[in-house]
């Protein structure tokens, strides 16, 4: 019965995704949209099935089990089901916004996913693969948003844009399963879409609503995004207003100024420790159970000196791990091969392409600096390579898509 319902819902989902106005305006044929949707769904099902087949610890099945409990509460105590979303059981109540332990906000992102899954169980009869299908109806909006951005930028590089937006392996794998990653990837795409076209054209109520609502959801689901967005958005604003011909100068100025501000705060106000948010996050990760792909990391202290001394390690972990020769989890070799291919793409774009012009575009500089900050934060914080791959996968289209378009040059960038 579950498989029969799955097929019925699949047929309905195929009709729905091809009729969503946002998807239709991407300019893709109905056949292409269906193929891409099926590919995403297949990746999501594989992502859920593989851990169960290999008996690996994973979040998908634990979320599923929790959703069945919440589903029972929804049926029998619906008032409690909705009210306990807002209930904090910690002594600090609603403090610790950036904490990963004993924090209402850290729990909230998982709680919301479980609640959504519990509602999905009404229609899926608790079948995990049908829930994966439901999530991907929403999830298709993320890659479509990226496709619409980069197709507008690189109108003569549609194949490269299609691959970069939809088919990067780790992005496809992690952003298509029923998890926070799918939600973050979707609303990241919508946020960047709204921001790009507000700058490109003009603000409208619809785009402004997408921009603000996406930012709120991202803040709830992965609050460290906010740290990386602040300097990137400030740089984008200043470059658009004061240095339209040389935007790189504005980005360098803003990021250098923020580094100087951090130095001054550390020197004159040692009791104020803004870097403690990042170092505490690393300490929380290090207290989790050791993973098969665990990395040896230095203890990070909330001082400029500690961050500078750990910078080479953070760059190494955030940008180059896993290596081809690294041992770890079952899938580490595949992620290492993927990363190696991206390095080759970068080298090809650097020596054969038109990569210099990418640094003259305000929005692409925004993407580059934002991703650099995110990858560096991941390098500082996350102590195992599998999790590094997973967290980075959400942002890869912002970097890899322009590099793919830059190979062999392009006629114009808009």
What pLDDT was estimated at residue 130?
Answer: 94
Reported as a pLDDT band with limits 50, 70 and 90, residue 23 is very high
Buried residues in 158-178 as b, exposed as e (16+ CB within 10 A): eebbbbbbbebbbbbbbbbbb
| pLDDT for residue 376 is more than 80 | yes
The answer to whether residues 176 and 256 belong to one domain is no
Is 50 a domain residue?
yes
Among the residue ranges 61-65, 199-203, 389-393, the one predicted with the least confidence is 199-203
Given 163, 191, 222, the domain boundary residue is: 222
Q: Does the reported pTM lie above 0.85?
A: yes
| pLDDT for residue 108 is more than 70 | yes
What pLDDT was estimated at residue 82?
Answer: 86
| pLDDT for residue 412 is more than 70 | no
As a whole number, mean pLDDT of residues 215-223 equals 90
The answer to whether residues 204 and 333 belong to one domain is no
Is 231 a domain residue?
no
Residue 20 main-chain phi, psi, to 5 deg: -70, 120
Is 228 a domain residue?
no
The answer to whether residues 44 and 166 belong to one domain is yes
Residue 87 main-chain phi, psi, to 5 deg: -95, 125
The answer to whether residues 79 and 180 belong to one domain is yes
Calculate what percentage of the chain has a pLDDT beyond 90. 51
The answer to whether residues 212 and 303 belong to one domain is no
As a whole number, mean pLDDT of residues 231-259 equals 87
Given 192, 222, 252, the domain boundary residue is: 222
* Range of 144-148, 247-251, 342-346 with top mean pLDDT: 144-148
The answer to whether residues 44 and 75 belong to one domain is yes
The answer to whether residues 248 and 104 belong to one domain is no
Tens of pLDDT, residue by residue over 263-297, are 788 777 666 777 888 888 888 888 777 777 788 88
Please compute Rg for the chain using Cα positions: 22
Strand stretches in 307-356, DSSP E? none
The answer to whether residues 218 and 341 belong to one domain is no
What pLDDT was estimated at residue 339?
Answer: 95
Is 230 a domain residue?
no
- Distance (Å, rounded) from C-alpha 60 to C-alpha 46? 11
How many domains, in total, are found in the chain?
A: 2
Best CA proximity match to 210, nearest among 200, 195, 228, 232: 195
Best CA proximity match to 168, nearest among 407, 377, 399: 399
As a whole number, mean pLDDT of residues 99-116 equals 81
Residue 248: give the domain boundaries: 242-414
Per DSSP, what are the bridge partners of residue 294? 384
Is 283 a domain residue?
yes
CA distances to 25, 90, 93, 414 from 201, in Å: 16, 46, 43, 12
What DSSP state is assigned to residue 294? B
The answer to whether residues 279 and 138 belong to one domain is no
Is 360 a domain residue?
yes
Is 196 a domain residue?
yes
The answer to whether residues 208 and 283 belong to one domain is no
The answer to whether residues 159 and 26 belong to one domain is yes
CA 32 to chain centre: 24
What DSSP state is assigned to residue 253? H
pLDDT mean across residues, the chain: 88
Is 216 a domain residue?
yes
DSSP 3-state assignment of 384? strand
What pLDDT was estimated at residue 297?
Answer: 86
The answer to whether residues 166 and 201 belong to one domain is yes
């Amino acid at each position: 019965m579950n498989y029969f319902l799955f097929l019925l819902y699949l047929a309905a989902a195929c009709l729905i995704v091809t009729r969503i106005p946002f998807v239709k305006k991407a300019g893709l044929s109905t056949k292409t949209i269906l193929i891409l949707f099926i590919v995403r769904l297949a990746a999501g099902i594989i992502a859920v099935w593989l851990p169960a087949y290999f008996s690996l610890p994973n979040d998908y099945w634990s979320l599923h089990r929790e959703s069945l409990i919440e589903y029972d509460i929804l049926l029998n105590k619906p008032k409690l089901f909705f009210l306990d979303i807002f209930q904090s059981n910690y002594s600090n109540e609603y403090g610790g916004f950036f904490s990963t332990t004993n924090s209402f906000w850290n729990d909230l992102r998982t709680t919301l996913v479980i609640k959504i899954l519990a509602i999905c169980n009404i229609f899926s009869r608790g079948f995990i693969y049908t829930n994966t299908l439901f999530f991907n109806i929403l999830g298709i909006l993320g890659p479509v948003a990226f496709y619409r951005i980069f197709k507008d930028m690189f109108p003569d590089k549609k194949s490269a844009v299609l691959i970069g937006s939809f088919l990067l392996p780790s992005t496809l794998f992690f952003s298509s399963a029923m998890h926070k990653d799918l939600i973050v990837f979707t609303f990241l795409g919508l946020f960047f879409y709204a921001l790009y076209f507000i700058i490109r054209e003009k603000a409208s109520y619809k785009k402004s609503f997408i921009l603000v609502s996406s930012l709120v959801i991202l803040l709830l689901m992965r609050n460290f995004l906010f740290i990386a967005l602040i300097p990137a958005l400030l740089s984008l604003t200043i470059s658009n207003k004061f240095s339209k011909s040389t935007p790189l100068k504005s980005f360098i100025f803003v990021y250098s100024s923020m580094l100087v501000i951090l130095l001054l705060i550390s020197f004159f106000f040692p009791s104020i420790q803004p870097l403690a948010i990042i170092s505490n996050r690393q300490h929380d990760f290090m207290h989790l159970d050791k993973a098969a792909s665990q990395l040896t990391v230095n203890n990070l202290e909330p001082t400029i000196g500690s961050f500078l001394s750990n910078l080479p390690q953070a760059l190494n972990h955030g940008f180059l791990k896993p290596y081809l020769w690294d041992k770890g989890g079952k899938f580490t070799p595949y992620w290492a091969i993927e990363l190696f291919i991206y390095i080759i793409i970068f080298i090809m774009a650097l020596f054969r392409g038109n990569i210099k012009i990418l640094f003259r575009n305000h929005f692409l500089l925004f993407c580059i600096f934002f991703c650099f900050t995110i990858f560096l934060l991941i390098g500082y914080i996350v102590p195992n390579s599998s999790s590094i791959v997973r967290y980075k996968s959400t942002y890869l289209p912002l970097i890899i898509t322009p590099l793919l378009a830059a190979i062999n040059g392009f006629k114009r960038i808009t």
